[in-house]
Structure 1
Amino acid sequence: MSIRLLNMIRLKYGAGLGLAAAFSISAAPALADEGMWTYDNFPLAQVNEAYGLKLDQKWLDRVQGASVRLTTGCSASLVSDKGLVFTNHHCVVECAQDLSSDKTDYVQDGFLTASREEEKKCPGMQAEILTSITDVTREVQAAGLGKTGQDFVRARDAVMASLEKSGCGDDPNLRCQVVTLYRGGQYKLYRYRKYSDVRLVFAPEFATAFFGGDPDNFNFPRYNLDIGFVRLYENGKPAATPQHLTWTSRAPQDGEATFVSGNPGSTNRLMTVSQLETLRDLTIPVGQLQRSEIRGRLIRFSEESPEHKRIATDPLFGIENSYKVFFGQQFALNDKAFMDAKRAQEAELKAKITADPKLAAEIGDPWGDIAKAQEAYANNYVRYRQIEGGATYSKLYDYARTLVRAAEERSKPSAERLPEFADARLALMEKTLLDPKPVDAPLEETYLSFWLSKTREYLTTDDPAVKTLLGKESPEGLAQRAVAGSKLADPAVRKALWDGGAKAIAASDDPLIQLALRNDPNARAVRKTWETEVQAPTDAAAERVARAKFAAYGEEVYPDATFTLRLSYGKVGGWTYRGQTIPATTNIAGLYERATGAEPYQLAPRWVAAKDRLNGSTVFDFVTTNDIIGGNSGSPVVNAKGEILGAAFDGNIHSLGGAFGYDGSINRTVVVATSAATEALAKVYGRTELVKELTGK
């Protein structure tokens, strides 16, 4: 599961996945095992009663303090007092790729360390641990009162930037983030302890972590050792992390209560019907067309040579995963029963508001305002995606655009900048920009030519923005020239441009800097239109929808996911669908039974050699009823004792539409078990010191 949960193709498994039954969740109090709850509003009494537990605030604080957010879009957990962090392989595979070369392939062969001296820094990766949550709703909402259009957006962004700055001051070890909850109904200041030095400790072979490949992705049973370990460093030494989870090597028990603490990326359960219709009819189809084509280009690229296959493995995995995610979303939105249930739910909420004339006068018709904004959304989406969105996959163009915009924005007072360039956000931006990472020119050329060709195709050759981008060149020719002539792959060059500011940018003859400079006026113009005609009216109306829901149902409604720390509850358990019962666990013996000797069911050589040493009954992967979504990848799955049973890495097929609703009878989280991790580390990889650190034995 990735932003790295949604799901596979419904056509293969049939319709009627139980989605419609789940959709009271967007308005009414949550159903059993449903919800990605914030730590300051977790239904502790409800969970204790349902599961016969005695969890308290001390337990919550312990789990929160051991939960880690990775800026690569994943979750993780502390599992030792020496900064050791447990997550998924697919959350560290980019690091393994960045540390690899044409001579050493840590993705294919795995990354193994025997001592801490062999641990290597992951370029661009930062780890963050949530330390406090403060309500700043009144301050943020007050900033937008009486304002419309871009003035509304910029006023709100300015006060959020100010709150982030004052919340953390100049402490280099802290990061503050104002989080929008309930689509504008609440704003909270999240304060994090950050670690900028994160080093790779262990990653298995890609064939082991992603055994079953694309055919098994989002399916169960799974046989994936989707694990990875990194370590947090401070002042060049392993960080002291006394608040960590307890590693257990025992198998999970059927029916055992489980808790997933992680950072779910994004859900749309609180969206209005008109917004969902726009997703269904425009946003997802356009994105899928482009994902499908870039997937094909990467497959062709990877077939051209062994080196091309090496450098395309991770990006191809990510695109294939995203394609399935949105394919699942599209089928959910095409389900008539789903949309009828959403309309009924929206009508119920409107009726509750109408029944109170005073409240009705205060709320007005935000649903109508959001519906009106969808026309502007449709008129501007493709231009906004292509011009402001930029070359999505290209590292080099991203570097160039960041440098060009930073040169202009950093000359302004923080409150007047584009929000991503506010003072509180510059440290992470600078780290991401300047950390040394390999740049694969052939792949960059593929990405850049794809963006330019799609922009010309969608906006037409005669569009002024396209003419500005291409001039007389072809997309392919411009991409080849720009990549070949750019020096932005060198972090020293990027640093000089970052430090030199506007003067250095103006003097640069780097073709990618020049491309970003040509595009920036048009990109800023379309962004202004988007903020004025789409974002501002939608966000202002969404605040009133949230107030309506609070008035009707109180705060027993959990907010949509925002890639911030949440806690979900559930239990270990399989499911029954159409008369077929799926057990909750797989074991190591099943891995060998599933292996065919051909990709993607080919075992890594270490696993072939270790077969007779392994206990075949060891639980490999298992499923729980926890409610999660993409971004939860790597989240610790813990029991009531605070012991870690595994790391979430996938969802089953019936999580289809998980962005829009939850059905506890068949939705399942797929987890790689600590029992399998311990067995493999000891008997396949011989990582005895790592096992000692985890188990204390």
Structure 2
Amino acid sequence: MVVQRSFSSLAAFGAALLLAARGEARADEGMWTFDAPPIDRIAAATGARLDAAWLDAARASAVRLTNGCSGGIVSGQGLVMTNAHCVADCVQTLSGGGEDAYLTDARDREERCAGLQAEALLTITDVTDQVRASVQGKDGEAYVRAREGALALAELAACGQDRTLRCQAVSFFRGGQYKVYKYRRYNDVRLVFAPEAAVAAFGGDPDNFNFPRFAFDVAFLRLYVDEAPAATPVFLPWRSTPPAEGEASFVVGNPGSTERQLTVAQLETQRDLVQPLAQAQRLELRGRLLQFRADDPDRARGAAQALAWVENGVKIGRGRMALLNDRAFMAGKRAEEDALKARVAADPALAATAGVAWDRIADAQDAARDLYPAYRQLENGPGGSDLFYDARLLVRAALERDKPDAERLPEYGDARLPRIERRLLDAPPRDLALERIYLEHWLLKTREALGVDDPRVKALLGGDSPENLARALAETRLVDPAFRAELWAGGRAAVEASDDPLVAFVLRIDGMARAARAAYEAKVSGPVDAAAEAIAGARLALLGDQIYPDATFTLRLSYGRVAGWRERGRAVEPFTTFAGFYARASGAPPFVAPPRWLEARKALAPDTPFDFVTTNDIVGGNSGSPVLDRRGRVMGAIFDGNSHAIGGAYGYDATANRAVALTTAAIGEALSKVYGRAGLADELMGR
């Protein structure tokens, strides 16, 4: 696997991990929070000393999209730049199955993306002390419930019931810190521009996680308040000139999740259990979606989007498994862990609180191997099925709302109910044919994972086959927003009386799902989280501001530079051009240039930089993140990483990990000369 090449040198990577254990910097690595940016380190690495004005403007202009992507505000009228792949579902809905590009020429043609919200970060508040006080003396499931209850109360205290705000309490450093992120929430997000899927995803799965790239993966949204474009006086200035090789680059976005602070014992569980199970299921689901697309050409467009997400997951899973099986990488992780353990052991105070924490986490891995399959299948439910998740929300909210707030499952506390309600009442359309595929796949895989004779499997299927049961469940009326609203308003009585097949099914199996969750929290999550908190406290005491927390889909700053890398003895240049795009456009999928692009070929400057790579540390969730220069101007939009970046969940290697972005120079050229959207181009340029 190509990913293994990033960590093929035990000496080099092990030395880098030992430097990290001692708190010494590794160039370009890090997803830094905005309340603790490493100003001196950034200046030393890039020559740019970021001041408070730069940071405040970047923070205020960054948005987090509730579909798992990022974006940046790029005009004073609420215009947001993100990726086309981040709005593909919206495009499909608004186009009504017609042309897959979305081109507006007037504000009154900007249409709302159902179910999509945007959030801009306002403040960060540390609540570590109150959370730690709530878990004092507790362990297992009680520890998890007390912690989550304290986090929910912190959210309520910060935001109250103000529906223009969202407050999210977040754990950093595996429990070393807890903070409340307060966001300005925009519930009305409208689509302004999206290109054809053929050019947005040019190269398809073969080019995904690779470079050179020639994808025009950009889209524009607009934030609305009270039926008018939002006033956004702080925004990212647009840069029309392309970046230069070696130039400093800064990515402001919301990386989804990393697990770089896991112990070796936890990484081994990921390697031996979690990732293999997930990957096997992804591969089978990919096969089902391929067959579905072939059998039903009329649904090919919807299936193509679902397939793209699954294929993306397959590549990520393959890369992660390759990295976890790389002996050099794991040896480096052990060296890092041993170095930290030695420093803890040398400090009596830290040894008293964290000395046995690694052993406690290792001991819990035996329970994880026994309990994880049931937890994954029963509590997490069928991946991809939005309707199952809607049914779960309706059922659990109905059951939990009857209880005092302190006795509920934490995610159903009063502070979090408005967010659940918005999701249920403002969801985009669902494809019942795809839902049936997801449900059937999940039922089959649950039977396989737990065994035919497991009592929970028998209760789950109720004597029916997975195929027949999935067919029946897909007859649900939850596709109708009015029906979801009726159940939400009716509460427990309405849910328990409902004859909807999916609602009744989720209500019937909820007890066994809760039991799987409770067992996992008691034997795994609770003990592991308490021990991880002790390790985090020691790490922070020893390393302080020299380290950054794992990604949590919260706003982060990454610094780096525009740079290629060496691959199998050859140099990979950091830029592609329009000329390269046309040379690669063979006319056969997935290398098809849309007619507009073929017609505009002579109008486009062939040497215009198209896509480029930087050393910025990014992972999934950064899609749509603006790439800024040292003056805070946007010069690109992140849309992917190279193959070496796939293992970024567990580690970073500056010699080969690269973020892939689209230049603003290419965006401006194409808006004017391919799409004839001079008004949009003028708004970006401030004209």
Change (3 A) 1:22 1:653: farther
Does residue 58 of structure 1 match 2:48?
Answer: no
Q: 1:434 aligns with which of 408, 425, 429?
A: 425
Give the 3-state SS of the residue equivalent to 2:35 in structure 1. helix
1:265-309 deviation per Cα after TM superposition (whole angstroms, max 9, x unaligned): 111111100000000000000000000000000011011132221
Q: Is residue 91 from structure 1 mapped to residue 91 from structure 2 by the alignment?
A: no
> How far does residue 417 in structure 1 lie from its aligned partner after superposition?
1.9
Does 2:17 correspond to 1:23? Answer: yes
CA distance in 1, matches of 2:327, 2:615: 26
Match runs of 1:3-42 below 5 Å:
9-10=2-3, 19-24=13-18, 27=21, 28-42=23-37
Amino acid at match of 2:73: L
Question: Matches of 2:7 and 2:549 in 1, distance apart?
Answer: 30
Aligned with 1:316: secondary structure? helix
What SS does the aligned partner of 2:474 have? helix
Contact 1:9/1:324 (CA < 8 Å) preserved in 2?
Answer: no
Equivalent pair of 1:185/1:547 in contact (CA under 8 Å)? yes
Match of 2:161 in 1: 170
Q: Quick one: which amino acid aligns to residue 403 of structure 2?
A: K
- 3-state DSSP class of the match of 1:658? helix
Q: Note the alpha carbon deviations across 1:145-185, whole angstroms, 9 max, x for none.
A: 10011111111111110010010112211111111000000
Residue equivalent to 2:599: 609
Distance in 1 of aligned mates of 2:214 and 2:634: 19
Higher mean C-alpha deviation, range 348-357 or range 292-301: 348-357
Q: Distance in 2 between matches of 1:610 and 1:92?
A: 25
* Residue 68 (structure 2) pairs with residue 73 (structure 1): yes
Asked whether 1:632 is paired with 2:622, we answer yes
When structure 1 is superposed on structure 2, of 642-651 and 352-361 the one drifting more is 352-361
- Letter of the 1:514 counterpart: A
Q: Could you tell which deviates more after superposition, 62-71 or 423-432?
A: 423-432
**What is the TM-score normalised by the length of structure 2?**
0.97
Name the SS for the 1:246 alignment partner. Answer: coil
Q: Could you say which residue in structure 2 is the equivalent of 1:268?
A: 259
Q: Distance in 1 between matches of 2:72 and 2:398?
A: 37
Query: Do the aligned partners of 2:247 and 2:562 also contact (CA within 8 Å) in 1?
Result: yes
Supply the AA of the counterpart residue of 2:130. E
Match status 1:546 vs 2:536: yes
- Following the alignment from structure 1 to structure 2, what is the Cα–Cα distance between the partners of residues 343 and 76? 37
- Pick the aligned partner of 1:514 from 504, 507, 513: 504
96, 102, 125: which is aligned to 1:101? 96
Within a 5 Å distance, the mapping from 1:49-448 to structure 2 comes to 49-102=44-97, 104-105=98-99, 109-448=100-439
SS at match of 2:571: strand
Residue identity matched to 1:91: C
CA contact (8 A) 2:18 2:335 kept: no
Q: Counterparts of 2:24 and 2:160 in 1: how far apart (Å)?
A: 38
CA distance in 1, matches of 2:413, 2:193: 35
Letter in 2 for 1:33: D
Report what 2:612 is aligned to: 622
The secondary structure found in structure 2 opposite 1:163 is helix
Partners of 1:118 and 1:290 in 2: how far apart?
41
C-alpha separation in 2, matches of 1:67 and 1:412: 38
**Pair 1:504–1:9, CA change in 2 (3 A):** farther
Q: Distance in 2 between matches of 1:359 and 1:324?
A: 40
Identity over aligned pairs, percent: 53
- What secondary structure sits across from 2:362 in the alignment? helix
**Distance apart, 1:681 and its partner CA:** 0.8
Deviation at 1:518, TM superposition (A): 1.2
2:452 matches 1:457: no
* Deviation, structure 1 residue 371: 0.4
Report the more deviating stretch, 433-442 or 152-161: 433-442
What SS is found at the alignment partner of 1:41?
coil
In 2: Cα distance, 1:50 partner to 1:441 partner: 51
What 5-or-longer segments of structure 1 have no aligned partner?
1-7
1:590 paired residue number: 580
SS in structure 1 at match of 2:419: helix
Distance 2:297 2:670 in 1: 28
Give the secondary structure class of the aligned counterpart of 1:193. strand
Q: Please give the per-residue CA displacement for 1:445-472, whole angstroms capped at 9, x wherever unaligned.
A: 1111111111112212222221222112
Q: Which amino acid aligns with 2:409?
A: L
Separation (CA, whole Å) in 2 of partners of 1:624 and 1:75: 18
How far has the Cα of 1:21 moved from its partner?
Answer: 5.0
**CA displacement, residues 313-354 of structure 1 (integer Å, 9 cap, x when unaligned):** 111111100111111010001000111111111111111111
> Could you tell me whether the CA contact under 8 Å between 1:177 and 1:190 is conserved in 2?
yes
* Match for residue 687 of structure 1 among 643, 654, 677: 677
C-alpha contact 2:6 2:656 (8 A) present in aligned 1: no
Q: Is the 8 A contact 1:159 1:415 kept in 2?
A: no
Pick aligned residue for 1:488 from 454, 475, 478:
478
SS of match in other structure, 1:233: strand
Cα separation, partners in 2 of 1:25 and 1:540, compared to 1, 3 Å? farther
Q: Deviations over 1:57-92 (max 9, x none)?
A: 111111111010011001100000001000111111
SS of equivalent to 1:201: strand
Following superposition, the deviation at residue 562 of structure 1 comes to 0.5
Deviation at 1:584, TM superposition (A): 1.1
Which residue does 1:568 correspond to in 2? 558
State the AA in 2 paired with 1:55: L
Query: Structure 1: which 4+ aligned runs deviate by more than 6 Å?
Result: 11-14
How far apart are the structure 1 equivalents of 2:427 and 2:127? 37
Check whether the contact 1:571–1:625 (CA below 8 A) recurs between aligned residues: yes
Q: What amino acid does structure 1 have at the position aligned with 2:296?
A: S
User: Who is 2:493 aligned against?
Assistant: 503
